Structure 1
Amino acid sequence: MIYVHFCGSWGHYTCLSWLPTYFSEELSLNLTEAAWVSILPPLASIFVTSIAAQLADNLISRGVETTMVRKICQSIAFLSPAICMTISSLDLGLPPWEVVGILTGGLALSSFALSGLYCTHQDMSPEYASILLGITNTVGAIPGIVGVALTGYLLDSTHSWSISLFAPSIFFYLTGTVVWLAFASSKPQNFSEQN
C-alpha cells in the first residue's frame, strides 16, 4: 500500500503542479485558458468518484470478493491516466482541446483510487485504518516535494514534456498497478496483541 500510494501521489502532484504550464507552453493556450482548463480534471473527478463508489458497492453486494473489487478499481485509477498520458505524449497532431479532454478523462478516472487503495486501509483494519492511512499518506506526500522539483529539473534539462512530466508518471502508474495486482489484499488483519 505504501508504494502504491507513492505512485498515485506522483502522478497527482506533478500534474497538479505542472499541467497549467504544460497547457500554456506546449498547447499554446493563453494563461486564462490554461488556468480554466486546469480545473477540469478535479471537477471531472467529482463526477467519477460517485460512479466509482457505486460500481464498487454494487460489485461487493453481488458477491465479488472485496480484494478483487479493490484491485479492479485501483487498476482503473492507474491505467487510465497512464494510457491518456501516453497518448498525449505521442506526436499525433491532436488539436490542443482534444489533448485537454484526453488528460482530463484520464486524470478524472484516477479517482477510482478512492474505491481501491483508500478503502483498503479500512478493509484491513477498521480499528487502525487511520494509522495505516497516516503511514501510507506520509510516504505519499514525498512526490509533492521530490516529484514536482524533479519534473522541473528534467524539463529544464530535456525541454521535453514527454520525458519530464509524462514518462515518470506513466512509470509509477504502471509499476504501481503491477505491485497492487500482485500484493494487494483486503483481508482483515488483527494488529492487536494477543493475550
Structure 2
Amino acid sequence: MVKGEQPFSFKTPLSWPQFLPEEKPKSSSSSEVDASLKDVPWKAFFQSKAVWAMIYAHFCGSWGHYTCLSWLPTYLSEELNLNLTEAAGVSVFPPLASIFVTTIAAQLADSLITKGVEITVVRKICQTIAFLSPATCMILSSVDFGFPHWEVVAILTGGLALSSFALSGLYCTHQDISPEYASILLGITNTFGAVPGIVGVALTGYLLDWTHSWSISLFAPSIFFYLTGTIVWLAFASSKPQTFIKED
C-alpha cells in the first residue's frame, strides 16, 4: 500500500469520508421501532366491536372482489360463451365503471355529512350499498331468468362497480374512529381482508371442479359474505371517535 493512502475499509457506511457531519442521515434503530410497537394498544383494538365490524366487513368485501377478479374472465368465457377477446375486454368494464361510482359515492357522502347526517349513518349507508348491490346482481346472474348474455354482463358490471361505495364506507371508518391509529387499524383489517385472496380463490376452483356450477362456486359464497357483512356492519359499525388505551 502506498504511503499516505487510506484503506477502503470503514466500520459503517455513515463513516465514509464523503459524509460531512451535518450530511449524515439519521438512522432509526430496531429498538426504537420495537418500543413504538409496544406502545400500541393492541388489546384495546380487539376489544372494540367497531373494530371487529371493520375486520369482518373488510373480509367480506375482499371475498367478492378477489374471487371475481380471478374467476370472472373464465366465467364469461365458459358460462356466457364469450370468446377470449370478448371476455378479456368485458373484464375491464367493472374497474372502469368503478372510477365513476367512486366519484359519485364521495360526493354523496360529503353532501350528507354537510347536511348534518351523522357520520356513522353515512358510513353505514355507503357500505350497505357496497354490499347489497353486488349481492343483488350476483343473485340475478346466478339464477336463470333468461337474460341475454350481454345483459348479464351489464348486471355484473353494475353490481361490482357499486361495490366501490366501500371507499366512502368501510375505508373511511379507520380514520373516523381513531386518526392516531388509523394506519395500524387499516393494516389489521387489511390483513384479514387478504385472506380471501388466498383461500377464496382456491376454494372457488375446488367447488367448481366438485359441483360444475358457477352459481354455487363463485356466486353463492360471495352472496353469503355480502349479506352477513351487511348485517354485522349495520349492527356494530361506528364512526364515533374512540380512545384506545394501552393496558399495562
User: What's the TM-score, normalizing by structure 2?
Assistant: 0.77
Question: d(CA) in 1 for partners of 2:122 and 2:56?
Answer: 19
Question: d(CA) in 2 for partners of 1:175 and 1:191?
Answer: 27
| 1:92 partner SS | coil
Give the number of the structure whose alpha-carbon radius of gyration is greater.
Answer: 2
Question: d(CA) in 1 for partners of 2:131 and 2:245?
Answer: 33
1:176 and 2:229 are equivalent in the alignment: yes
Alignment correspondent of 2:199: 146
**Given the alignment, which residue of 194, 200, 213 partners 1:160?**
213
| 1:141 partner SS | helix
Q: How far apart are residue 39 of structure 1 and its match? A: 0.5
Question: d(CA) in 1 for partners of 2:199 and 2:89?
Answer: 26
Identity of aligned residues (%): 85
**Letter of the aligned partner of 2:65 in structure 1?**
H
* C-alpha RMSD of the superposition: 0.9
1:121 and 2:171 are equivalent in the alignment: no
**Given the alignment, which residue of 100, 103, 106 partners 1:47?**
100
Residue deviations 1:142-168, cap 9 Å, x none?
000000000000000000000000000
What pairs with 1:54-69 in structure 2 (closer than 5 Å)?
54-69=107-122
Alignment correspondent of 1:30: 83
Higher helix share: 1
How many residue pairs end up in the alignment? 194
Q: How far apart are residue 192 of structure 1 and its match? A: 4.7
Q: 1:146 to 1:193 in 2, by over 3 A?
A: closer
| 1:169 partner SS | helix
Question: d(CA) in 2 for partners of 1:79 and 1:193?
Answer: 37
Q: How far apart are residue 193 of structure 1 and its match? A: 5.1
**Letter of the aligned partner of 2:196 in structure 1?**
P
**Given the alignment, which residue of 68, 71, 74 partners 1:15?**
68
**Given the alignment, which residue of 158, 161, 164 partners 1:105?**
158
**Letter of the aligned partner of 2:101 in structure 1?**
V
Alignment correspondent of 1:86: 139
Q: How far apart are residue 190 of structure 1 and its match? A: 1.6
Greater RCO (Cα-Cα under 8 Å, separation 6 or more)? 1
Q: How far apart are residue 191 of structure 1 and its match? A: 2.0
| 2:117 partner SS | coil
| 2:241 partner SS | coil
Question: d(CA) in 1 for partners of 2:91 and 2:146?
Answer: 21
1:185 and 2:238 are equivalent in the alignment: yes
**Letter of the aligned partner of 1:177 in structure 2?**
T
**Letter of the aligned partner of 1:120 in structure 2?**
T
Question: d(CA) in 2 for partners of 1:7 and 1:84?
Answer: 16
1:71 and 2:71 are equivalent in the alignment: no
Question: d(CA) in 2 for partners of 1:31 and 1:113?
Answer: 31
Structure 1: where are the runs of 5+ without partners? none
Q: How far apart are residue 92 of structure 1 and its match? A: 1.0
Question: d(CA) in 2 for partners of 1:192 and 1:162?
Answer: 46
